[in-house]
Chain A
């Protein structure tokens, strides 16, 4: 069984972002980039299936500029077998990415596509569900556990009310939540080996897919700043503030 994992290059999780003063976006120059953390979890899930003998090949796919090759190499170092970059310098929104991935899925015919549940930059939480819709496949979003059973996959989902279990017919889409696994750190030998693994670059324009942004971003601004708080010294002082000054207790 072939497994495809979609990964996105984003500003590193530990970096404090800076909104550009002219409202045009978030500063990405000289900022450390990394694989979206939820995509790392998705990739780890796929690699574990291969290690358990349930998957035959793990393919990582990314959409974006040539710099995404670095992110794909990181995926290969974790343990993916080969990589595909759908290259474009256009701004990509989730619907466009889902359409590009749809084309890759049609070419590669995987039985399972893993994605992170959301990217930590746009926080959209859309691409997996959109791809499932375009393919008319079942979707298991917010996965915290998976079990493959012949032609089905049982997905435990982290929903607002608790944990929900669904059974999906393969092929299917699964989006990873935080507690699905803890992704590994690639070892140095695997980082070296990853340099030799195949990485195919396909130009997005060669696929004849409409990837134009549907949403116009008019402005990116900083959120309102909370007023500076105060330190209190005792519990009594704290509750006095909450009861007398703020009247919230």
Chain B
């Protein structure tokens, strides 16, 4: 077995989802290679070389990979794909964009959102928004898959660095061009790796009142999430969305405020350790999955909520 992990990073450091993907890779083989395509990304390579389980780093440090397009990244990966039995990427929008295109060009299946590795060809993945779990077996010569980051721990660091090898690549991509990215800078923890998440839904009523959620999150050192309804209503940007089509999260504590709990939202939070729901509708489906439910008008209990936070030292 030899496993290639396609790294997601921002040219500064690896994403936490990549660290989880490396852990999944080490379950398959002791021989894990990390492909780091980026621009001016030597610091990523250096820190990544000290991730436990990584035996080799292959890097392409070229302008076209500053923000990698699938067309280029797949062409690059194809150069070395035949050396591996498994090719993995995180099940983020990055990995989901790249992995199926690669699989089709290798004429193999892609396996999305793997949550459990049974053996080198058998994997579990959620379907129907997590309402069923499929166990699938692949006979393809190379297994190409995305790994759900919340299902695997982050890989630890090691003392002796792995060697770094350069892979040459000349872009022949005339198909696509990166124009811009609009990101929402925040000091808060990332949703996909946060210990505490506080999420708001349509019950918050408007963008102004949603800011209360953000204020509470800052006191709790929590990440801020939202339901699709809150995003559609324009309370918060799209990258806050948690659910089947947004981000899948697994914090120790998930606090849902004013979220009714559509199955698409529940699909994204089921792996949270403790789910708390505050909603004034006693019949809201969110209460069916909540470990602790409080039927109340959030705005009415807010002063009390903040008092308790103060008492607890937040």
Closest to A214 in B: B109
Bound CA span A222–B287, Å: 20
A94 interface neighbour in B100, B105, B178, B289, Cβ under 8 Å:
B100
B312 touches A123 (CB 8 A): no
Contacts A132-B101, A133-B102 given: A144-B294 contact, CB under 8 Å? no
Chain A positions 214 through 249: 1 when the CB is less than 8 Å from some CB of chain B, otherwise 0: 111111111100110111111110110111001011
Residue A161 at the chain B interface, CB threshold 8 Å = yes
By a CB distance below 8 angstroms, the chain A residues around B117 are: none
Bound CA span A157–B239, Å: 11
B181 touches A162 (CB 8 A): yes
Residue A113 at the chain B interface, CB threshold 8 Å = no
By a CB distance below 8 angstroms, the chain B residues around A222 are: 131-133
By a CB distance below 8 angstroms, the chain A residues around B182 are: 162-165
Minimum C-beta distance from B146 to chain A (A): 9
**Which residues of A from 164 to 182 have beta carbons under 8 Å from B?**
164-169, 172, 177-179
Minimum C-beta distance from B265 to chain A (A): 13
Bound CA span A11–B131, Å: 13
A248 touches B308 (CB 8 A): no
In this complex, the interface size class of chain B, counting residues with CB under 8 Å from chain A, is 35 or more
Bound CA span A238–B111, Å: 40
Minimum C-beta distance from A122 to chain B (A): 5
Contacts A126-B110, A223-B270, A235-B305 given: A133-B74 contact, CB under 8 Å? yes
Residue B171 at the chain A interface, CB threshold 8 Å = no
B232 touches A179 (CB 8 A): yes
Residue A202 at the chain B interface, CB threshold 8 Å = no
Residue A124 at the chain B interface, CB threshold 8 Å = yes
B239 touches A169 (CB 8 A): no
By a CB distance below 8 angstroms, the chain A residues around B314 are: 249
Bound CA span A215–B245, Å: 23
A133 touches B101 (CB 8 A): yes
By a CB distance below 8 angstroms, the chain A residues around B99 are: 126, 129
**Binding-face segment, B28-36, B39-47, B49-57, B90-98:** B90-98
Bound CA span A172–B238, Å: 24
**Binding-face segment, A56-64, A78-86, A135-143, A193-201:** A135-143
A139 touches B183 (CB 8 A): no
B274 touches A248 (CB 8 A): yes
Contacts A94-B100, A129-B104 given: A167-B179 contact, CB under 8 Å? yes
Contacts A126-B103, A219-B134, A235-B305 given: A214-B140 contact, CB under 8 Å? yes
Residue A16 at the chain B interface, CB threshold 8 Å = yes
What are 22 A-B residue pairs whose CB atoms fall within 8 Å in the complex? A17-B131, A19-B132, A123-B113, A123-B129, A126-B112, A130-B103, A133-B74, A133-B100, A134-B105, A157-B93, A164-B181, A164-B182, A167-B179, A169-B175, A217-B135, A219-B135, A221-B132, A226-B275, A235-B305, A242-B276, A246-B274, A246-B291
Q: A139-B70, A161-B181, A236-B308 are in contact. List 20 more A-B contacts (CB 8 A).
A: A121-B128, A123-B113, A123-B126, A123-B127, A127-B100, A129-B99, A133-B100, A137-B175, A139-B97, A139-B101, A164-B178, A165-B181, A166-B179, A167-B179, A179-B231, A223-B132, A229-B292, A235-B305, A239-B312, A249-B196
